[in-house]
């Protein structure tokens, strides 16, 4: 491919020998290239395929079935049937856990083949895939297998005599769309929690890297996963991805990718059945190096934060802020470290950086490098492609970068380090937050107070202090602002795949609750309205309304009081008291004449009746007995 954006400076500083050698042929066989639907590998409905390319050379690795809307329909139907009728959601959580653990064991047995496929299809260093990413993959499934039988609801107290359960139930059919930069890890981040919760899945892999998801899914079925629980559709975003996002029978959607595509996914989900969406999107993460930092360690951490995975990392520390007092020294050492970075065939031992994923990303990175030069940022090293074949780019370092330059505002997603200068902590917090993104941030300092100030001031979902890219299975990951919605990994990811249901049922005189006070309103033969107390404490009197005379009560069997001076009610209607407050007070002696009813208390038609209960044992106590009661008696 012809070099479009050559700049000359520093080109011969990087060794290209590793790239110019004949690429190493991995020994792994390509066995799975069809769609996985309902436990079977099948051709796409259209019969179409597309090539997946080796980013080292741009040559075809294999042709893979190209799924589209019809294939998404088939996969969703299989997942729906597996959820509604199949054993997965209904089997014990312990058995689900055992299947997930067996799957993790099979991954470990096939770890070399999976790492080879990941490197071949993606271009990342084989040592990185084998010794870092695949062990994390296994750990993630151990983690979520451990959660499977620990997902439970709650029993919550209610104010009245009711038993309240809060159930956590699987959400149903989950649609998942994963990116190309970490195909296996993103598979684990999404599939693990969804299956632990008892859901079924339709997963669309990235068109650039479809091979490892198919291989892993095959191992899952070997572990005992029922048919239809995990379906894999390879294909393109505008066809298969859009069909999945807008499908009316998908209950939940999870997407990892660019912010611009995330907006489209969210809109499609909203326009269809308003399915909930989890988004893990782009970033332009600051890495702040304070004046008290150990410069050598800071240089290495900042280098790792940016160049890891060819710079193709959503949380890459792509804005390196360095305090002005150490800025020049840092630039010198950061440039030297970048020039020592080994670039070449990712299957070769000792290689730190492989190719970019494809020609589109390759050209995009070179355009941003040209933009940095045109904006008068100082190119310290790099800026060129490496070799004449494949998508390799020299590690590139810019200094004298300003906040408004495109290389400082846009997500480059490549091996381009931009280094900015700052003076004060408050200043750098403001500048670091002046972005639409908020995925991650790094802080390098020896001062705990400075670390606390920065970590609380930075608007980012993850802040790494004196480290970077620590991805433990239990650590939640997600962004502020336009870097996403929701969290992945850790216990928080389970919430993405659970419905919350409240179940309320009455309790009949439970021994451990105060018995509820109830009363009845009735009308006797003379149209006299009376109150009938059914249960309660040492109550002696009741009054109908504020203006009505007091009626003395006497206890009758088994647990009731009848108005002494009123006729027995002929018809009773029981009403529970729930919320209204009533005051208990001792009746005064001077009110004794008022208690003598000269005639039966006739009540006028009212919309509401309030019951006030007088208790001679407590002059001040106020208790909550019930709501105002609407009267249906005239």
Residue numbers annotated as active site: 280
Q: Do the Cβ atoms of 306 and 447 come closer than 8 Å?
A: no
Closest residue by Cα to residue 78 from 31, 32, 35: 35
Specify the long-range contacts of residues 156-159, CB closer than 8 Å, at least 24 apart.
Answer: 158/504, 159/578, 159/624
Closest residue by Cα to residue 451 from 471, 430, 466: 466
Residues 6+ apart with CB under 8 A from 263: none
Q: How far apart are CA 546 and CA 125, in angstroms?
A: 84
Residues 6+ apart with CB under 8 A from 600: 526, 528, 566, 567
Backbone angles phi, psi at 435, to 5 degrees: -150, 155
DSSP state letter for 309: G
What residue ranges in 10-48 does DSSP mark as E strands?
35-37, 40-42
Helix and strand element counts for the chain (H, E): 17, 31
DSSP state letter for 212: H
Q: How far apart are CA 467 and CA 464, in angstroms?
A: 6
Q: How far apart are CA 127 and CA 124, in angstroms?
A: 9
Question: How many CB atoms are located within 10 Å of the residue 490 CB?
Answer: 17
Distances (CA, A) of 195 to 151, 188, 286, 486, 517: 12, 10, 34, 18, 47
Q: Do the Cβ atoms of 153 and 61 come closer than 8 Å?
A: no
Question: How many CB atoms are located within 10 Å of the residue 329 CB?
Answer: 13
Structure token pair of residue 629: 């009661």
Q: How far apart are CA 196 and CA 142, in angstroms?
A: 11
Q: Do the Cβ atoms of 202 and 246 come closer than 8 Å?
A: no
Closest residue by Cα to residue 288 from 416, 472, 427: 427
Distances (CA, A) of 297 to 110, 173, 395: 36, 46, 19
Residues 6+ apart with CB under 8 A from 135: none
Closest residue by Cα to residue 517 from 607, 629, 399: 629
């Amino acid at each position: 491919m012809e070099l479009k954006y050559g700049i000359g400076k520093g080109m011969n500083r990087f060794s290209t020998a590793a790239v110019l050698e004949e690429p190493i042929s991995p020994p792994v066989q390509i066995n799975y290239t069809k769609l996985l639907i309902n436990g079977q590998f099948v051709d796409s409905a259209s019969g179409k395929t597309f090539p997946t390319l080796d980013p080292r050379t741009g040559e075809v690795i294999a042709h893979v079935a190209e799924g589209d809307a019809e294939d998404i329909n088939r996969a969703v139907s299989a997942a729906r049937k597996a959820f509604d009728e199949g054993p997965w959601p209904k089997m014990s959580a312990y058995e689900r856990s055992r299947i997930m653990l067996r799957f993790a064991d099979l991954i470990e047995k096939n770890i070399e083949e999976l790492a080879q496929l990941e490197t071949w299809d993606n271009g990342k260093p084989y040592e990185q895939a084998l010794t870092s990413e695949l062990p994390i993959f296994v750990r993630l499934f151990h983690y979520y297998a451990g959660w499977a039988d620990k997902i439970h609801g709650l029993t919550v107290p209610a104010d009245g005599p009711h038993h309240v359960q809060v159930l956590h139930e699987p959400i149903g059919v989950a649609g998942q769309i994963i990116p190309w930069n970490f195909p296996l890890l993103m598979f684990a981040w999404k599939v693990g929690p969804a299956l632990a919760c008892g859901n079924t899945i339709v997963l669309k892999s990235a068109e650039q890297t479809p091979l490892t998801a198919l291989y892993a899914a095959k191992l899952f079925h070997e572990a005992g996963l029922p048919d239809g629980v995990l379906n894999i559709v390879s294909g393109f975003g505008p066809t298969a991805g859009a069909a999945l996002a807008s499908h009316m029978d998908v209950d939940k959607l999870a997407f990892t990718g660019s912010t611009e595509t995330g907006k489209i996914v969210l809109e499609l989900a909203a326009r269809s059945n308003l399915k909930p969406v989890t988004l893990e999107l782009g970033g332009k993460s600051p890495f702040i190096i304070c004046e008290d930092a150990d410069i050598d360690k800071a240089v290495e951490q900042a280098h790792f934060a940016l160049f890891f995975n060819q710079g193709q990392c959503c949380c890459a520390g792509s804005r390196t802020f360095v305090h002005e007092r150490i800025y020049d020294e840092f630039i010198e050492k950061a440039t030297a470290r970048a020039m020592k970075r080994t670039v070449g065939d990712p299957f070769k031992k000792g290689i730190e950086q492989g190719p970019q994923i494809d020609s589109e990303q390759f050209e995009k990175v070179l355009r941003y490098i040209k933009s940095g030069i045109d904006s008068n940022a100082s190119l310290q090293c790099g800026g060129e492609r490496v070799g004449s074949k494949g998508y390799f780019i020299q590690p590139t370092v810019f200094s004298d970068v300003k906040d408004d330059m495109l290389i400082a505002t846009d997500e480059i997603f490549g091996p381009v380090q931009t280094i900015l200068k700052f003076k004060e902590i408050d200043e750098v917090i403001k500048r670091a937050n002046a972005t639409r993104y908020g995925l991650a941030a790094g802080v390098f300092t020896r001062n705990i107070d400075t670390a606390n100030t920065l970590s609380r001031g930075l608007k980012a979902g993850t802040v790494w202090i004196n480290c970077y890219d620590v991805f433990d299975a239990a650590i939640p990951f997600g962004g502020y602002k336009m870097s996403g919605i929701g969290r992945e990994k850790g216990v928080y990811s389970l919430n993405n795949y659970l419905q919350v249901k409240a179940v309320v049922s009455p309790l009949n005189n439970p021994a451990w609750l105060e018995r509820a006070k109830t009363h009845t309103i009735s009308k006797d033969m003379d149209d006299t309205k009376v109150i009938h107390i059914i249960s309660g404490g040492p109550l002696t009197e009741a009054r109908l309304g504020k203006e009505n005379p007091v009626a003395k009560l006497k206890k009758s069997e088994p647990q009731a009081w009848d108005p002494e001076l009123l006729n027995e009610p002929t018809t009773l209607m029981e009403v529970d008291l729930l919320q209204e407050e009533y005051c208990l007070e001792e009746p005064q002696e001077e009110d004794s004449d008022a208690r003598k009813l000269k005639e039966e208390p006739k009540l006028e038609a009212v919309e509401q009746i309030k019951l006030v209960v007088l208790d001679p044992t407590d002059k001040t106590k106020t208790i909550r007995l019930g709501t105002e009661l609407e009267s249906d008696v005239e």
